Amino acid sequence: LEIASGTGEHVIRFAAAMPGLEWQPTDPDPTRRASVAAWVADTKLRNISPALHLDAARPGWAKDHGPADLIVLINLLHLISMPEVATVLVEVAKALAPGGRFALYGPFLRDGQATSQGDADFDTALRAQDPAIGYKDMADVIAMLQSHGLTHADTIAMPANNLLLVFSRPA
């Protein structure tokens, strides 16, 4: 299950790299779901289901989209408010199957601080647009997921100061 698939560029690369997995892209925006369909149509990949409507910040979605063995979420948390983040993470924890993995990618604060001037500037620009959004602290996100039964399995440094946080649901 890919949450907030956006235009679909990620899911086609994941599906090509991991052909043994059936990929389910989702997005709340019909234009982005149409973009996913266009990207998929340009490939010969058969392991991508049609994109579904999913507003991950809406409580209750896990009952319709789980259990999932793998949930992937890329570059969303800094674009939504903390209450919305809490909903997304609670629902992810509910939707993740026993033994499943959650891969969360994006920019994060570390101990309340940005790790570069570029990140600080981007966070400031986001908060200027909407004071409720902006970078979330990695420790807060980890604690929230742990409080809902997930285990923090790994943190992987990625390009541009982003992180890939990996969580698992005990079997």
What would the pLDDT profile of 112-123 be if each residue is shown by its tens digit? 999 999 999 999
Planar angle of CA 146, 149, 152, nearest 5 degrees: 45
Sign of the CA dihedral with 131 first, then 136, 137, and 141 last? positive
Q: What is the pLDDT of residue 44?
A: 87
Domain range for 125 = 2-168
Contacts of 54 (CB under 8 A, 6+ apart): 3, 26, 27, 28, 61, 65
> For the chain, what is the largest distance between any 2 Cα atoms, rounded to a whole number of angstroms?
44
For 36, phi then psi, to 5°, come to: -60, -45
Here the CATH number for the domain that contains residue 63 is 3.40.50.150
Q: What is the pLDDT of residue 7?
A: 94
Whole-prediction pTM: 0.95
Which residues face 165 on adjacent strands? 104, 155
How many structural domains compose the chain? 1
